[in-house]
Structure 1
Amino acid sequence: MAHPAQVKIPATYMRGGTSKGVFFRLQDLPEAAQVPGAARDALLLRVIGSPDPYGKQIDGMGGATSSTSKAVIIAPSARPGHDVDYLFGQVSIDKPFVDWSGNCGNLSAAVGSFAIASGLVEASRVPRDGICVVRIWQANIGKTIVAHVPMTDGAVQETGAFELDGVTFPAAEVQLEFMDPAAEEGDGGAMFPTGSLVDELDVPGVGTLRATMINAGIPTIFVEAGALGYTGTELQEAINGDAQALARFETIRLHGAVRMGLAGSVDEAAKRQHTPKVAFVAPARDYTSSSGKAVAAGDIDLLVRALSMGKLHHAMMGTAAVAIGTAAAVPGTLVNAAAGGGSRTAVRFGHPSGTLRVGAEATLVDGQWQVTKAMMSRSARVLMEGWVRVPGDTF
């Protein structure tokens, strides 16, 4: 019998923040995969190595975690005031599913670098030295991200002294601005979709939990660590090694998704693994990070742990960090209360790998909270570039 040859597709494997993913230019994808649909999903699943019942993604580029099972498609933008369109796919590890419902804040840090290196930013806007401002349209959620990418001798500067907890080696700092990150009424949602800063969320088998449900950066459900028997200092093994805990968090996520209007039923919510996120918060206290680094309560404002794709994240998703910064800026939310309450424009929170600072500018307008932008620093680096190969009958 005939066997299909492998197809070569230009690609770049990049780290952005505490995530890794395979980056493509839209124009380099096979024609059938240049438009949304089954062919594109099938291609990306095969590239990453999913679905894998072994949960290892051995036969693909994925790293068997939510942080490393990702794909990005970049294209020139026809939208005024933007350089590129950025589309993010969260690839399920064990299911034949690519979730396009949200953004990846960590990989956002790599989009500007990739766009410049790929010739997708107009040459007149790229300085030989200094900072190149890349205007990104985040196509999944319809928002603008502005990346400030350092340049040296006409090339993207990737090495540097900026340290990011959760990433082993220092690199060049990339500053990100997430413009108008909260959902608005005109988007079919709202920053606080239930209309309340804190809700009573009834979760069968778990109980009634106080929750702040916010749509900023990415839809996120914040609950109190103490209400679940946690301190907020937990590391991955404390949660990911507990099947009952994971099931409890997934139940919270499903019922929170329905309450937020993201799904009509828990069955529908179960089909979108990427959103919403679930996070638990607690007041600052001393703890030891996953690397053995001591984090002092006096160096942080609060503790946050978040789950992604059903597992406790090893650090913090960038989009969830935007949600944290935004919620912290609004007095009355559980996040703001855990940070000590009051008015604030930035917080430094402790996560399993260390700490992260995120800022947000929130104002109350006509009784509704609005956020003009959220800001954070990440780093990015090309790990490998060339071609990925998939069997020709994949898509």
Structure 2
Amino acid sequence: MNDVARPYPPQISIPATYMRGGTSKGVFFKLGDLPAAAQVPGAARDKLLLRVIGSPDPYEKQIDGMGGATSSTSKAVILSKSESAEHDVDYLFGQVAIDKPYVDWSGNCGNLSAAVGPFAVANGLVDAARIPQDGVVEVRIWQVNIQKTIVSQVPVVNGEVQETGDFELDGVTFPAAEIPVAFMDPAEGEGAIFPTGNLVDELDVPGVGLLKATLINAGIPTVFINALDLGYTGTELQAVINGDDQALEMFETIRAHGALRMGLIGDISEAASRQHTPKVAFVAPAADYVSSSGKEVRAADIDLLVRALSMGKLHHAMMGTAAVAIAAAAAIEGTLVNLAAVSGKPDSGKRHAVTFGHPSGSLRVGAEASFVNGGWYIEKAVMSRSARVLMEGAVRIPGDSF
């Protein structure tokens, strides 16, 4: 029976928009719409976002929240007019854990980056004088998590964001308008693209042994491993990896030791509280396979195969930030990504653009690399995504959630 004498706080309503960006979706907020306690970083903000998304959930379903129980759908974005004269909007991303009570602020979401520009234009975060009646508006985004610039080309028709179109993105069921996104100088923070100074390192991983690895810091810190060294072909789909607890444990061990070697953590025990970064991915030369949707992907149409894990599970397609890392690594001769891309091809060397196969299909990405002052530099990495509003209005959470 309900204890009618006990006072329960009412729910509160917070303006929000539910958006898809690339192969991810999340809940978008304007900073000023959040309750005062959540407008600054800290426990109140984290608790609010956890309750909105429906975490922590021991059932791992997020039934009582907006999350979709995958790393691709357990996300939150906070946007505001930029404090920088060189940018239009400040973009803060939170990766919300599904079964644990924390929000990881250590990196960006490249897929949701594609939705930031359209949201900013539609919600008054871009100067109205810059928005054409018909055409394209360039939205300059400051990515707060990694302190980097993202430039988004947002299509506009009749003064409003054009969301519908015929651009198809593998991993997304329906076509939409194309949004080119450029990640400028994508090495995260002020660190080197290769934190160890090497294009290829050897990782001594307990239970696995010595593994060759490319440890790169572009888009998002990523640990690349050869698929063959792990007993895989690179054509695997989600069920093969996510249904194998031993495999998931192995990948988490590789990720933790990669994080330690990259200097992202000071002790191996810290990896458990930093699940969003680094990512771990395995690569292989191009091969024929059938994607998760039944689409045939031909080796002749791609340069290499890549499978990546996010928040402890094989991703259904490819994280946008990891795609940036792939583009950057492919552009530098001698990395494991580059070697997989040029394997068996007569024109070996760096690649200005590659098309890689992932579980849902393929994606083309590009990057320009140069060796400057004794180190590698990536001017920008570019890819096309799409985005659209799924629902807008307000989310509700119990008033004592934060």
TM range (shorter): over 0.9
1:27 Cα shift? 0.3
Counterpart check, 1:110 vs 2:115: yes
Aligned-partner Cα distance in 2 for 1:375–1:385: 29
Aligned-partner Cα distance in 2 for 1:100–1:22: 15
CA deviation map 1:31-77 (0-9, x unaligned): 00000000000000000000000000000000000000000000100
Counterpart check, 1:325 vs 2:327: yes
Partner-residue secondary structure (3-state), 1:339:
helix
Report the TM-score, using the length of structure 2 for normalisation: 0.97
Aligned-partner Cα distance in 2 for 1:369–1:46: 42
Aligned counterpart in structure 1 of residue 309 of structure 2, from 307, 310, 317: 307
Aligned-partner Cα distance in 2 for 1:220–1:344: 19
Counterpart check, 1:95 vs 2:97: no
1:344 Cα shift? 1.6
Aligned-partner Cα distance in 1 for 2:71–2:60: 11
Partner-residue secondary structure (3-state), 1:44:
helix
Partner-residue secondary structure (3-state), 1:68:
coil
CA deviation map 1:246-293 (0-9, x unaligned): 000000000100000000011112111000000000000000000000
CA deviation map 1:136-179 (0-9, x unaligned): 00000000000000000111000000000000000000000000
Aligned-partner Cα distance in 2 for 1:274–1:206: 22
Aligned-partner Cα distance in 1 for 2:350–2:381: 15
Name the residue aligned to 2:182: 177
Counterpart check, 1:38 vs 2:43: yes
Name the residue aligned to 2:201: 199
1:183 Cα shift? 3.7
Aligned-partner Cα distance in 1 for 2:85–2:100: 37
Amino acid of the residue matched to residue 184 of structure 2?
M
Partner-residue secondary structure (3-state), 1:120:
coil
Counterpart check, 1:387 vs 2:394: yes
Amino acid of the residue matched to residue 401 of structure 2?
T
Aligned-partner Cα distance in 2 for 1:126–1:68: 30
Aligned counterpart in structure 2 of residue 360 of structure 1, from 367, 392, 397: 367
Aligned-partner Cα distance in 2 for 1:183–1:337: 23
Aligned-partner Cα distance in 2 for 1:264–1:367: 26
Aligned-partner Cα distance in 1 for 2:142–2:133: 24
Amino acid of the residue matched to residue 398 of structure 2?
P
Where structure 2 has 5 or more consecutive residues not aligned to the other structure, the ranges are 1-5, 343-347
Aligned-partner Cα distance in 2 for 1:292–1:3: 50
Counterpart check, 1:342 vs 2:349: yes
Using the aligned pairs only, state the percent identity. Answer: 76
Aligned-partner Cα distance in 1 for 2:377–2:305: 24
Amino acid of the residue matched to residue 190 of structure 1?
A
Name the residue aligned to 1:25: 30
Name the residue aligned to 2:127: 122
Aligned-partner Cα distance in 2 for 1:39–1:343: 47
Where structure 1 has 5 or more consecutive residues not aligned to the other structure, the ranges are none
1:343 Cα shift? 2.3
RMSD: 0.6
**Count of aligned pairs:** 392
Aligned-partner Cα distance in 2 for 1:246–1:193: 25
Aligned counterpart in structure 2 of residue 266 of structure 1, from 265, 268, 272: 268
Partner-residue secondary structure (3-state), 1:356:
strand
Runs of 4+ residues over 2 Å off in structure 1: none
Counterpart check, 1:148 vs 2:148: no
Aligned-partner Cα distance in 2 for 1:353–1:234: 11
Partner-residue secondary structure (3-state), 2:275:
coil
Amino acid of the residue matched to residue 238 of structure 2?
Q
Amino acid of the residue matched to residue 92 of structure 1?
A
Report the TM-score, using the length of structure 1 for normalisation: 0.99
Partner-residue secondary structure (3-state), 2:72:
helix
Amino acid of the residue matched to residue 260 of structure 2?
V
Name the residue aligned to 2:167: 162
Name the residue aligned to 2:71: 66
1:182 Cα shift? 1.3
Amino acid of the residue matched to residue 142 of structure 2?
W
> More deviation in 366-375 or 232-241?
366-375
Aligned-partner Cα distance in 2 for 1:331–1:366: 17
Name the residue aligned to 2:239: 237
